[in-house]
Amino acid sequence: MIVGAGMAGVQTAVALRELGWRDGITLLGDEPHPPYDRPPLSKAVLLGAAGAGVDVRFDVDFDALGVDLRLGLRAQALHAEDRHLVTDAGPLPYDHLVLATGAYPVALPGTAGLPGVHLLRTLDDAAALRPVLDARQQVVVVGAGWIGAEFATAARQAGCEVTVVEAAERPLAGVLPEVVTSRMRAWYEEAGVDLRTGTPVSAVEPGAVVLADGSRLAAAAVVVGVGARPATGWLAGSGVRLGDDGAVLADDRLRTTAPGVFAVGDCASFPSARYGERMLIHHWDNALQGPRTAAANVLGGDEPYDPVPYFWSEQFGRFVQYAGHHTDADTLLLRGDPSTAAWSVCWLRGDGRLAAVLAVDRPRDLAQARKLITRSATVDPSLAADPAVPLTAAAR
């Protein structure tokens, strides 16, 4: 039994079959649509007039795979002690359970149901935003994170007037250092987006966003992109332990605290030996890799899960990729000039190991760094800082 028919749930079903699972697989999803991929929702689906025609469905033949796909069905509760779920359609027993319920976007307090206020997580959310772009409405985006930047990109391309408001002093403040985000600030400006940082929203009213400094921004549409939280409320009292961040606390085999129950994707955190900390990753690659480990372990394997995290973003005409994981204690190396079109940043551990890379339109840097990080390679800092030297040639 797999709960959640997004990327992680679907990949779990696929991996189970690939690894030889012969018994039944039920895949339960509460959305009405056939399972689909989310990254295009803030990119191809919104970009360009043809966007509405983009097919985001996963290319998976569930019948051929022998997967019993139950859509529009919600798991309401879990009784782990006698292995059954409570669903909208009554109880469903299972032998093994994989939790893949993903995350839901955090809303601004008091805005639920307010007309013109949008979130961007689902196909329906994206469909509701197309008319905003087609009508070139005046848009205020709340949150200068990955989703905010991607939506602002599409809205500007459509000809909307766009203001992005961010409570922190800079975009992606909790994720990337100033040397990187100061360039990203310039991307907003170059795209004609009015980016206002250090300005929390104090209220959203019909047709306007009011900021903490008293300024009032007219807004035909408001798009909120202030983060996501694991969709795990339904597991309260189930025996599956959750962290303070709401994530299922999985172990390094992606097992939960309930017997026979695993967890993958955006809904679960896991301890990383590689990075020495528990990680909650809300990126596509984690929803691809985790299921392979979970499926192997459902089948009786003993595989650890300790990936090198990877994600990408497409914003303001740029392809931004990140692999690894860095902390403020790591040494930052610029590879190239951030005021040019293509550049990268590397982070090194105290012992010279490559910890992470961010590549802006330098996919080769990303690909090479990812391999080096995976094998815990150390690099020569002066060679790694030279964009003319391939990163693999900087490895010691």
Ligand X SMILES: Cc1cc2nc3c(=O)[nH]c(=O)nc-3n(C[C@H](O)[C@H](O)[C@H](O)COP(=O)(O)OP(=O)(O)OC[C@H]3O[C@@H](n4cnc5c(N)ncnc54)[C@H](O)[C@@H]3O)c2cc1C
Tokens of 49: 């007039």
Helix, strand, coil shares, percent, the chain, to 5: 25, 30, 45
Instruction: Confirm or reject binding of residue 153 to ligand X (CB under 6 A).
Output: no
Instruction: Decide: 259 and 94 in contact? Cβ < 8 Å.
Output: no
Member of 25, 99, 103, 261 binding ligand X (CB under 6 A): 103
Instruction: Decide: 263 and 103 in contact? Cβ < 8 Å.
Output: no
88 or 213: CB nearest ligand X: 88
- What DSSP state is assigned to residue 130? H
Minimum distance from CB of 129 to ligand X (Å)?
10
**Range list of H helices, the chain:** 7-18, 62-65, 123-134, 146-158, 178-190, 284-298, 363-374, 381-384, 391-394
Which is it for the CA torsion 131, 135, 138, 143, positive or negative?
positive
**Of residues 215-234, those binding ligand X (CB under 6 A):** 231, 234
Member of 2, 16, 38, 366 binding ligand X (CB under 6 A): 38
Minimum distance from CB of 261 to ligand X (Å)?
14
Instruction: Confirm or reject binding of residue 41 to ligand X (CB under 6 A).
Output: yes
Q: Give residue 298's Cα distance to chain centre.
A: 25
Minimum distance from CB of 389 to ligand X (Å)?
28
Tokens of 347: 């982070």
Single-letter amino acid code for the residue at 374: T
Which position has the token pair 């966003």? 209
Tokens of 174: 């909790």
Tokens of 6: 């997004």
Please, which residues bridge with residue 320 across strands? 313, 360
Member of 1, 16, 75, 158 binding ligand X (CB under 6 A): 75
Please, which residues bridge with residue 67 across strands? 25
Instruction: Confirm or reject binding of residue 9 to ligand X (CB under 6 A).
Output: yes
Minimum distance from CB of 254 to ligand X (Å)?
12
Give the x-and-dash track for 116-145 against ligand X (CB under 6 A): ----xx------------------------
Task: Number of residues interacting with ligand X: please give it, by CB under 6 A.
Answer: 37
Instruction: Confirm or reject binding of residue 30 to ligand X (CB under 6 A).
Output: yes
Which position has the token pair 């905003």? 132
285 or 303: CB nearest ligand X: 285
Member of 25, 97, 100, 323 binding ligand X (CB under 6 A): 100
267 or 379: CB nearest ligand X: 267
| Window of 99-107, 204-212, 326-334, 339-347 that interacts with ligand X by CB under 6 A | 99-107
Going by their DSSP bridges, the two strands 310-315 and 277-280 should be labelled as: unpaired
Minimum distance from CB of 15 to ligand X (Å)?
13
Minimum distance from CB of 284 to ligand X (Å)?
4
Give the x-and-dash track for 255-294 against ligand X (CB under 6 A): ----------xxx--------------xxxx-x-------
Other Cβ atoms within 10 Å of 330 Cβ, number: 19
Burial 304-320 (b: 16+ CB within 10 A, else e): ebebbbbbbbbbbebeb
Member of 1, 2, 6, 170 binding ligand X (CB under 6 A): 6
- What DSSP state is assigned to residue 251? -
d(CA 102, CA 31): 12
Instruction: Confirm or reject binding of residue 74 to ligand X (CB under 6 A).
Output: yes
Instruction: Confirm or reject binding of residue 97 to ligand X (CB under 6 A).
Output: no
85 or 140: CB nearest ligand X: 85
**Of residues 163-192, those binding ligand X (CB under 6 A):** none
* Residues engaged in binding ligand X (CB under 6 A): 3-9, 28-31, 38-39, 41-42, 74-75, 100-103, 120-121, 147, 231, 234, 265-267, 282-285, 287, 311-313
